[in-house]
Amino acid sequence: MKKVALFLANGFEEIEAIGTVDILRRAQIDVVTVSITENNAVTGAHNIPVTADKIFKDTDFTNFDMLILPGGMPGAKNLNEHEDLKNLISSFNTKGKLIAAICAAPMILGGLGILDGKRATCYPGFEPELIGAKTTGESVVVDENIITGKGPGLVFDFGLRLVEQLLGLQDRHEVQNGLLL
């Protein structure tokens, strides 16, 4: 079974985080929500509280297949200020493991130099933060091991593309059909 970590910081975009978790779990992917705070309780950008499965400092990421960064503000900024998370992302990238970010969160990848020469997308207005990227404005972009999504209204496209990257097109279509998309 594929295993992914989705990171939660106070101010995260609820639709992007919860929608992505829901879509991936429908595909039988083991999704672990990870708080980067000292608590399991994390509050989204629209004041929706969520209880994360794990706390970052107590999590071993050795057997994870993908890291997912939801956007939202100040959630993406808070993720970007977490040095241990950025070190983990860099390590995953060096190993060619999958990394996904949506909305404002691709700025984290830009700041780490991970998008240099790669195609990427983000929430409109954050393009300058995608340092080195060839921004496309598309809904979802896959370039090698990096998947980027544009924003909250496109969470279905984003989540389904993650299913496709992890399990293949057939599983994506099964989940998509079950969602009536």
Active site residues: 103
Q: Positive or negative CA dihedral for 120, 123, 125, 130?
A: negative
Q: Dihedral of the CA atoms 77, 80, 81, 82 (nearest 10)?
A: 130
